[in-house]
Amino acid sequence: MGSRVLRVLPCLFAIALLGCETKKEGMTGASHRPVVTIAIEGDIDSFNPLFAEDITAGEINDLLFPALVSSSFDITSGELTYGPLLARSWEYADEGRDVVFHLLPNARWTDGSPVTARDVQLTYELYGDPAVASVRQAAVDNLRRTRGELDVRKSVEVRDDSTVVFHFAAASPGQLFDAGLPILPAHVLEKLPRKDLRTDPVSTSPVSFGPFSLARWIPLQEVVLESNAQSVVPYPAKLSQLILRIIPEYRTRLSQLESGEVDVVGGIRPEDARELTRNAAAVEIISTPGRDYDFLGWNNIDPEAAATTTSATVKPHKLFGSSGVRRALTMAINREELVEAYLGDHGRVAFGGISPLFTWAYHQSMKPLPFDPQRSSSLLEEEGWRDSDGDGVLDKNGLRFSFVLKVPAGNQMRTVVAAAVQQQLRHVKIEMRIEQVERATFWQEVTMRKYDAWLAGFSVPLQMQLDDLWGSDLQKYPFNLMGFQNARVDSILAAVRSLKAESDGALLWREFQEIVQEEQPCTFLFWINNIVAVNKRVRGTRIGVLGTLHHAWEWHVDTTAQVVTAVSH
Amino acid sequence: MSLVRFVTRRVLHSVPMLFGLGTLVFFLSRLLPGDPVSLYLSPGVPPGVAEHLRSQFGLDDPLWEQYLAWLSSTFRGEWGYSFAHGAPVDEVLLQFLPNTLLLGGAALVLECVLAFLLAALAVRFTGSWFDRALSSLTLIVYSLPSFWVGIMLLSLFSFSFTIFPSSQMHSVGGEQMSGLAAVVDVLKHLALPALTVAIPGTAVMARYLRTSITETMKQDYVVAAVGMGLSTGRVFRSYILPNSVGPVISVLGIEIGVLLTGVLVTETLFAWPGMGRLAVMAIFTRDYPLIIGCTLCGGFLIVAANLLADAVRAWIDPRIRLP
């Protein structure tokens, strides 16, 4: 019997050899066919722009359903600029309140139907219809109303098949941004009950007209886009296929990048970016200053009182209700050191709530509050916080300065940063405990302002409208997580909305940053660069502020570039 | 009692059990903090959208009404709509279940084959260093967490020696392969996840099998068969093996439950598109109908596996059919 067992072992060995002899996946012909593979963390939530909330899904949908205009971000001016896409041109009318778009005459959907102005009109009807419950419902907010009522059919007027007019309530800098959403096929969607659109199978087999079309989607495995040979918006993609493979494990994504199985990986950690720069000759690191920041949130308002009142102004938080205390907390934390230790060149200390990307609005002459534990202690003393019982923790009227910092689970860097902050606050006699909370629970509770303090990340929008983050109406703006209320900030937010050009609001935004610096509703920690690793064989990318897949129709493959080849053993 | 009656009785017993499981998971999932609708909210999304979605998902009804609605639809054979997938739960499950069955089945076969090989070697060399090592290592290997085993296998066979692929079920473009190439491609991707799931169970199975074979070898009928001059192979095939596998089959039934738990972690680690990964995502997104669907499906698989194990045992050993 033993000898039989031993006879099986060579067979097992042969199977192992079979694995060795075969080339690594993704390599076969990779250097011959213009195919690029991207590793992504999670699956796509929807191929219908009405419902896609996920960032990658949004980027894919932009490739399937181009907008009227193509946006770019000008790093020098810090502003969005627009060029033709489905609209070959546009002009303004009615003192800048109307925008008249002239569509490309020969654009066609993948089923052969022409793309017309009616598609644009229905698209905006759907975005705005409460029955559809689109996540982009706010896109119709600035359209003109008739006697207070919004009728999208009138506000987005079809003049003829290739002319559509957007009637806005006022001339504003956001008009092209609002008109820049993906356009959907009216002839497919108008037949369907609007309340059922979310679950309709049309979302998984979309009729599109962009440079790519959806070749196949295998849930939890991959999304394959292929060049749409009929597309004139703007033209068929240069790649024959763009494959997005879903690989949940970060380390696996990284290994597959190094081995050449995948070409592009986003969300690279700073320490790995340094490692890849040193050791992976075939990989290029693209680090773009981003719109993402990490911050320590201090609940400005009393969570219990806030839960039991509908009053517009609520009771200040017993620990964090005073701006003096919040400034002291910021000054007790060495943010420069945190950036140096965890981000290096891929981040910078944050303050004021406006990303340095928006150069026209960013307060260039303002400096972050310095790391000054002594000044921090004096500020706390001025606020009445002393260690009266000698237990090593400050107290005031019998209340100890002790709190729990909630951190969403699953982000290694935030866990380490929280521990560093804990250590630094201990030096000014503040006791902080750290509690990790599962992500879905965290976001539900933090938007209900249930926590005293938390560490999280946020992103500022491309369109400089920050009412959602800083508006004082706490019922209307659940993402004003700190419960920050300031009348002057409200008037600034209202004023910038009515300006004709975004950059006209520069002075107002500088004042906004000064107020935020003074009030310190939260402690901004750092702006984090978006780091993407790309195999050098992939050319023509415009990875940057507007995402990884931005203008992916321009991507092509350089077959002469160094490609990591399969390793056989 | 006939085998058919035996199986029928067990099936009928399992119905209330699955119903209880569904009810428990229904209420437990609702007790979880976190809101399914919060997934769709971000700055810029009007609060009205959240209310609309809550109503669309049936989450604005009182809990008991939601429960009755779930009961009624379940009895009609409808498992509800997955919030995240926007499709009927049964359709979503059917997309992923075959992949899990493939992984689980492969792991089970691997577990049995490896356990048999190890047990046979241990019996062949009873008292040797190998036999002693197998006994000592069993507990250690059994207690190894799946994710640790998976990471070790990945770093060894995928990253260091690049023998097997590290994730997914197919190579890029693998769906368009056909015939033997497609089978080999899937097998290559299956190797590491199946091993990850199989390794802990193999150790304990080998130990059970070794003990069972050793005990059987001491039985009078085996001694008599050897005394009659039958060959070692024939004695093993005809007398020892059939009488040794009975107790192991029961363990195998239980082991399938453990195996499914391992699949949960392994599928995520290896990006294997199966029910385990689906369940984990359903929990993270608070997709209540899908959580219940995955649990019921898992529960059904465990019940079916135990039933099958008992039926096979009863078929091999007719004495256990007696009431």
Q: Has residue A34 been placed in a domain?
A: no
Is the Cβ pair A569, B163 closer than 8 Å? yes
> Contact, A525 vs A294, CB < 8 A?
yes
Q: Has residue A300 been placed in a domain?
A: yes
- The pLDDT value given to residue A565: 42
Residues A191 and A305 both lie in one domain:
no
Q: What is the dihedral of CA A492, A498, A500, A503, to 10 degrees?
A: 10
* SS3 letters across chain B: CCHHHHHHHHHHHHHHHHHHHHHHHHHHHHHCCCCHHHHHCCCCCCHHHHHHHHHHCCCCCCHHHHHHHHHHHHHCCCCCECCCCCCEHHHHHHHHHHHHHHHHHHHHHHHHHHHHHHHHHHHHCCCCHHHHHHHHHHHHHHCCCHHHHHHHHHHHHHHHCCCCCCCCCCCCCHHHCCHHHHHHHHHHHHHHHHHHHHHHHHHHHHHHHHHHHHHHHCCHHHHHHHHCCCCHHHHHHHHHHHHHHHHHHHHHHHHHHHHHHHHHHHHHHCCCCCHHHHHHHHHHCCCHHHHHHHHHHHHHHHHHHHHHHHHHHHHHCHHHHCC
> Contact, A421 vs A404, CB < 8 A?
no
Is the Cβ pair B121, A8 closer than 8 Å? no
Q: Has residue A362 been placed in a domain?
A: yes
State CA B224 to chain mean position distance: 41
Shortest CA distance from B188: residue in chain A: A19
Contacts of A2 in chain B (CB under 8 A): 120-121, 124-125
Q: List, as own/partner pairs, every contact residues A152-158 make where C-beta atoms lie below 8 angstroms and the sequence separation is at least 24, other chains included.
A: A152/A121, A152/A124, A152/A125, A152/A128, A153/A121, A153/A125, A155/A124, A156/A120, A156/A121, A156/A124, A156/A125, A157/A121, A158/A116, A158/A117, A158/A118, A158/A120, A158/A121
- The pLDDT value given to residue B321: 57
**B60: contact with A, CB 8 A cutoff:** no
> Contact, A400 vs A387, CB < 8 A?
no
Is the Cβ pair B81, A246 closer than 8 Å? no
- The pLDDT value given to residue A195: 87
- The pLDDT value given to residue A307: 66
Is the Cβ pair A479, B163 closer than 8 Å? no
**Residue tagged 């987005």 (tokens):** A156
CA distance B323 to chain A (A): 39
Q: Among residues 275-304 of chain A, which lie with CB inside 8 Å of chain B?
A: none
Encode B27-47: b = buried (16+ Cβ within 10 Å), e = exposed: eebeeeebbbbbbbbebbbbe
Is the Cβ pair A255, B44 closer than 8 Å? no
Tell me, what DSSP letter sits at residue A500?
A: S
Residue B198: is its pLDDT beyond 60?
yes
Q: Has residue A423 been placed in a domain?
A: yes
Residues A362 and A493 both lie in one domain:
yes
Q: Has residue A284 been placed in a domain?
A: no
**A441: contact with B, CB 8 A cutoff:** yes
- The pLDDT value given to residue A8: 47
| pTM of the predicted protein model | 0.85
Distance CA A252, CA B192 (A): 14
Residue B246: is its pLDDT beyond 60?
yes
Detail the DSSP E strand segments found in A345-503: 347-349, 395-396, 399-400, 402-408, 431-437, 453-459
DSSP 3-state of A448:
coil
| Residues paired with A437 in a beta bridge | A408
Work out the average pLDDT over B125-145. Answer: 82
**B110: contact with A, CB 8 A cutoff:** no
How many structural domains compose chain A?
2
Q: Show the tokens assigned to B83.
A: 């919030």
**B269: contact with A, CB 8 A cutoff:** yes
Is the Cβ pair A5, B117 closer than 8 Å? yes
Q: Has residue A432 been placed in a domain?
A: yes
End-to-end C-alpha distance for chain B, whole angstroms? 7
Among residues A179, A206, A233, the one where a domain terminates is A206
Q: In terms of Cα–Cα distance, which of A294, A372, A296 is closest to A331?
A: A372
- Strands A35-40 and A241-246, by their bridges, are parallel
Contacts of B110 in chain A (CB under 8 A): none
Cβ within 8 Å of residue B138, ≥6 positions away: B203, B204, B206, B207
**A444: contact with B, CB 8 A cutoff:** yes
- The pLDDT value given to residue B196: 93
DSSP 3-state of A291:
strand
Give the CATH number of the domain where residue A525 resides.
Answer: 3.10.105.10
Candidates B82, B134, B163: best to mutate against A (most CBs of A within 10 A) is: B163
Among residues A162, A177, A206, the one where a domain terminates is A206
How many degrees, rounded to 5, is the angle at CA A122 between CA A117 and CA A126?
150
Query: If 0-12 CB within 10 Å is exposed, 13-18 middle and 19+ buried, where does residue A519 land?
Result: middle
- The pLDDT value given to residue A312: 61
Angle between helices A323-331 and A506-519 (to 10 degrees): 90
Higher pLDDT, B311 or A449: A449
**B139: contact with A, CB 8 A cutoff:** no
Residues A297 and A181 both lie in one domain:
no
Contacts of B169 in chain A (CB under 8 A): 221
Beta carbons within 10 angstroms of residue B242's beta carbon: 12
> What is the extent of the structural domain holding A394?
290-529
Tell me, what DSSP letter sits at residue A142?
A: T
Cα dihedral sign, B2-B304-B106-B196:
negative
Is the Cβ pair A2, B173 closer than 8 Å? no
Q: Among residues 238-267 of chain B, which lie with CB inside 8 Å of chain A?
A: none
Is the Cβ pair A35, B172 closer than 8 Å? yes
Residues A508 and A364 both lie in one domain:
yes
Residues in chain B: 323
Is the Cβ pair B96, A24 closer than 8 Å? no
**B34: contact with A, CB 8 A cutoff:** yes
DSSP 3-state of A290:
strand
Residues A378 and A522 both lie in one domain:
yes
Distance CA B226, CA B223 (A): 5
Shortest CA distance from A33: residue in chain B: B173
Ranges of residues in chain A whose predicted pLDDT is under 50: 1-31, 564-569
Among residues A206, A240, A274, the one where a domain terminates is A206
**A435: contact with B, CB 8 A cutoff:** no
Give the CATH number of the domain where residue A130 resides.
Answer: 3.90.76.10
Q: What is the dihedral of CA B139, B142, B144, B150, to 10 degrees?
A: 150
Q: Has residue A134 been placed in a domain?
A: yes
Q: What is the pLDDT of residues B146-182, one digit of tens each?
A: 888 999 999 899 888 888 988 889 887 777 777 888 8
CA distance A367 to chain B (A): 27
Residues A389 and A503 both lie in one domain:
yes
Q: Has residue A304 been placed in a domain?
A: yes
What is the DSSP annotation of A154-215? HHEEEEETTEEEEEBSS--TTHHHHT-SPP--HHHHTTS-GGGGGG-GGGTS----SSEEEE
Cβ within 8 Å of residue A417, ≥6 positions away: A294, A338, A342, A455, A525
Contacts of B87 in chain A (CB under 8 A): 199, 201
